[in-house]
Amino acid sequence: MAAPLSRAQWLTLLLVSFDAVLLALLEVFFLPLRVGSLGEVPLPVTALVGAVTTPWLVLTVAKLVRPGLSFVPLAVWVVVVFVIGLTGPGGDLVLVQDWRALLLLGAGALPAALVLGGGLGRATAVSGAGHG
């Protein structure tokens, strides 16, 4: 059985989860960003932000808190994207209904899930090596 989390670990987990909330909000709200003189070219730069930041948050929790809890920032990010994107402030649909929404979800969740799986696999291999 794992040791209980220290106060610093709880604080780190809370802070990283709060970061996941803020990043998800910014990524959803700025997803419809367009460039050009008439706003004709969609520029989903927030999908790139999600592709970089969500795996980093998962890795941060795995290193500073515990690998078994590294799913928390990814779960928080996904829940916030769906809740705010689909029920938005005042019941508005904030998540755009085109390829940019799929790009944001894929670019944010897939790399983070790969980092999560790799970290959990390494943690399992290390803990299992001592029992063999």
The domain segmentation of the chain, as residue ranges, is 50-121
- The pLDDT value given to residue 118: 86
User: CA triplet 13, 102, 75: central angle to 5 degrees?
Assistant: 20
What does the pLDDT look like over 7-39, one tens digit per residue? Answer: 999 999 999 999 999 999 999 999 988 887 767
- 109 or 2, higher pLDDT: 109
> What's residue 99's pLDDT?
92
| CB hemisphere CA count around 90 (13 angstroms) | 2
Is the model's pLDDT at 129 over the cut of 80? no
